[in-house]
Chain A
Amino acid sequence: MTAIIDYGAGNLFSVKNALDYLGIENKVTKNAEDLRAADRLILPGVGAFPDAMRMLRESGLVEVIKEEVQKKPLLGICLGMQMLFEKGYEFEETDGLGLIKGSVKLMTPENLPIPHIGWNELELNKPCKLLEKGGEYVYFVHSYAADCPSENVAAYCDYGMKIPALVFNGNVYGAQFHPEKSGEAGLEMLKKFAQL
């Protein structure tokens, strides 16, 4: 079973719709026991970094997530991906989950609008279990981006600057884009995640 972590700041239903469509058994949950029983975890997220981290902390799930990723895969999506890093700088400095080295900062592409909205191409940096080749177009909606070591980046995208699009560290994966809104390419990635 794949647990979709419900802590009050997620685009849970599009993720759930996509997993249901793929026939992947899943449960939207805020119970620590469900997270412990799950085969893998998905951390969605929409909104602002400080609020989302506060809600996640108040849900009491931070320690459970940190323990469980020692044993099972986790996929963070969009803000859920950003929360995997050590720190976020949206409005104020906020501690993240610290599962991947690096921090999250406001994007500064030259002469391009923020937020970065639309379909952009994945440029392979380092293959991982969710992405072998790159070249796929996936759907992005974000204003902040990760600043992290290249060794944790599976793929970048180009938006006036190199943006870490898919990151990983051991069991932990993070997609800055929305695989659940990225057509076939996104569904393919979710399918691979469900096989981990």
Chain B
Amino acid sequence: MLAKRIIPCLDVRNGKVVKGVNFEGVKDIGDPVELAIEYNKQGADELVFYDITASYEGRGVMLDVVKRTAEQVFVPLCVGGGISSIEDFRDTLRAGADKVSVNSQAVKNPKLISDAAEIFGSQCVVVGIDAKRNDKGGYSVFINGGRVDMNLDLGDWVKEISERGAGEICLNSIDTDGVRGGFDIDMLNFVCERVTIPVIASGGCGKIEHFSEVFEKTNSSAALAASLFHFKELTVDEVKAHLKTHNIPVRT
């Protein structure tokens, strides 16, 4: 039986893992390769590097981080942030990533999804989405880190993503992100009902029970978290031990 995945996410800026605290400055957490090795030891099923540098120089630093991680960590690596072309996909995969995540650029140019799926295979195309509940009872898609409303309905968008051959969706809820009150169960169900590709839950996890909740109440395939792991409030193996007591299949 397929295991539910636990995925630590590392935001990388200029070769360092950082975590934004209340929009005011960012806190330096440490070296991405060392953290990746540590999470791998804890039993992480996959690792996500998110490049928040968004500059040409930063890109090279990021690819070097990916390369050095791929030499020492033998679980799938997903890399996102600033991916806007097939060349970006190719460079990132060549550096040793197994999957590439696109977000804003896919909304602006959806053909990037189908082109990448055709050239590199669906399995390596992850589409990240930032969405928020709207006043019409549905959800709207935002880009640029949740700052720009695209007037795009989430239901329409996930259908298009799926038809264009994306391999997975990483769904981040702007409403729950950073609040630590739990994943956005309603939004995850909204998406899981509309697509058959795996959905990764992101945004809102604040305590261990939120992991069992998301797998018991939604069909999400994986759960992603950052600060909980970075600030050592929880380890991946603690989360998995907890999920096991809830009879949720995990890799141990």
A-side interface residues toward B, CB under 8 Å?
13-14, 17-18, 20-21, 46-47, 113, 115-121, 137, 139, 141, 158-159, 180-183, 186-187
Contact = CB atoms under 8 A, between A and B. Distances in A.
Given A21-B71, A141-B123, A186-B74, A117 B198 contact: yes
B196 interface: yes
B173 interface: no
Contacts of B196: 113
A119 B74 contact: no
Interface stretch (B1-9, B80-88, B206-214): B1-9
Contacts of B45: 118-119
Interface of B is mostly: loop
A159 B251 CA distance: 15
Contacts of A18: 74
The 9 closest A-B pairs by CB, nearest first: A137-B251, A119-B3, A113-B196, A119-B251, A141-B123, A118-B2, A17-B71, A183-B75, A120-B2
Interface in B60-88: 70-72, 74-76
Given A14-B70, A46-B121, A181-B98, A121 B1 contact: yes
B96 interface: yes
Nearest to B76: A181
A18 B71 CA distance: 7
Most buried by B among A116, A119, A120, A139: A119
6 contacts: A14-B98, A113-B196, A118-B45, A119-B45, A181-B76, A187-B74
B3 A121 contact: yes
B3 A21 contact: no
Contacts of B74: 14, 17-18, 21, 180-183, 186-187
A64 B69 CA distance: 35
Contacts of B70: 13-14, 17
A17 B74 CA distance: 9
A120 B123 contact: no
Interface of B: 1-3, 5, 40, 43, 45, 70-72, 74-76, 96, 98, 121-123, 167-168, 196-198, 221, 249, 251-252
A181 B167 CA distance: 18
Given A14-B70, A17-B70, A47-B121, A117 B168 contact: yes
Nearest to B95: A13
Contacts of A180: 74
A196 to B, nearest CB: 20
A187 B41 CA distance: 13
Most buried by B among A46, A141, A159, A180: A141
B123 A159 contact: no
B251 A117 contact: no
Contacts of B40: 183
B72 A21 contact: yes
Contacts of B2: 116, 118-120, 159
Contacts of A118: 2-3, 5, 45, 198, 221
B76 A139 contact: yes
A121 B251 CA distance: 8
